[in-house]
A and B are shown apart, each in its own frame.
Chain A
């Protein structure tokens, strides 16, 4: 196993003592198959126990280790050291306030997720005795890709629009709304539209496409947002030009 010394530059911020963040560099002996999260764990265990960051699964499923690595939003547990040079710069996810070191304040994202009602709102009430809601594989395919989101917020860190207009509901939350809208068992689209098709919803998106480029799960939130725009535009025409057509 080959070992390599890297300079890990980490943005540090201690709310109790610091007025602004500053970089601190650690020399870390890395194995070639390590990911950046391993290097951070090495620092925490051997060099500096005060370093704070979030992680849990170490296998790209929990979504908690999002960070900027050389300026790009990445999962720390999926960013292999061998893909980088000898100096790696790590910062907290862009566009989110820094709580401490690499830990960001995520309340805004959580509130936005909740605002799109990300759960099944059944078309009709059905007693349990009436059996399950059936779905064909083709109906599942319609939204499956959007179920893969791990709420890592890399897309929010990539989206310049979210950085400039923090009210923007943003890629992952809107893609999740689309996931339920596309579900054959769901009847909640009208309830979601109020948030989803508002100015701060899809219409704040100018299709930069950065969210889909950085998404580690290939959710393609940008695609979902454009599809919502198309559907909402069709709604508008139906309502204003063909009011006799039922939605």
Chain B
């Protein structure tokens, strides 16, 4: 004993670009993150709507017509699907971020998740009825 131990720790490098391919759960995470691009694109569309509204009724009508084109409908459908996935992926983790304690017990996670679904349905319904 008493001999000096030589240390030479080996560091395994991680690829900065392909790290998420290592694990299915990393890919699920990336899928959730990628949905942000669609939400960004839709926000941009809303700004364009405001812009055309400011340019007068003709411009706005033209904008509405472009929404009714096949590409416009396709885009809106795609955003709807992706946004639903985005929202669901956040709803399922709400019990972790916002646990509710009642006395010595925690409110079961599925109640918190379902409350979010419920609120979502109600808000969607109000907007649908209001928009008709």
Interface residues of A (CB under 8 A from B): 13, 15-16, 18, 20-21, 71, 94-95, 97-99, 105, 137-138, 141-142, 160, 163-164, 206-210, 212-213, 220, 222-223, 226-227, 229-230
Contacts and interface: CB of A to CB of B under 8 A. Distances in A.
B10 A227 contact: no
B20 interface: yes
Given A94-B12, A222-B96, A141 B106 contact: yes
Interface in B81-115: 93, 95-99, 101, 103-106
A15 B106 CA distance: 49
Contacts of A160: 19-20, 23, 26, 29
Listed residue (A13, A99, A209) with the most chain B CB atoms within 10 angstroms of its CB: A209
A212 B95 CA distance: 13
A230 B19 CA distance: 28
Contacts of A230: 97-98
Contacts of A207: 93
Contacts of B6: 15-16
Interface residues of B, number: 28
Contacts of B7: 15, 99
A138 B100 CA distance: 12
B127 interface: no
Contact of B29 (A137, A209, A223): A209
B97 A227 contact: yes
A106 to B, nearest CB: 11
Nearest to B103: A138
Contacts of B10: 13, 15, 18, 20-21, 97-98
Interface in B1-38: 6-12, 14, 16, 19-20, 22-23, 25-26, 29, 33
Given A98-B9, A138-B104, A226-B93, 15 more contacts: A13-B10, A15-B7, A15-B8, A71-B23, A97-B11, A141-B101, A141-B105, A160-B19, A160-B23, A208-B25, A222-B93, A226-B97, A227-B98, A227-B99, A229-B97
Nearest to B10: A98
B97 A209 contact: no
Nearest to B106: A141
Contacts of B26: 160, 208, 210
Contacts of B19: 160, 163-164
Nearest to B22: A71
A93 to B, nearest CB: 10
Contacts of B96: 209, 212, 220, 222-223, 226
A160 B25 CA distance: 10
Nearest to A163: B14
A16 B5 CA distance: 9
A206 B26 CA distance: 12
B101 A142 contact: yes
Interface in B30-89: 33
Contacts of A229: 97
Nearest to B14: A163
A78 B115 CA distance: 36
A164 B103 contact: no
Contacts of B16: 164
Contact of B9 (A15, A94, A141, A227): A15
Contacts of A141: 101, 104-106
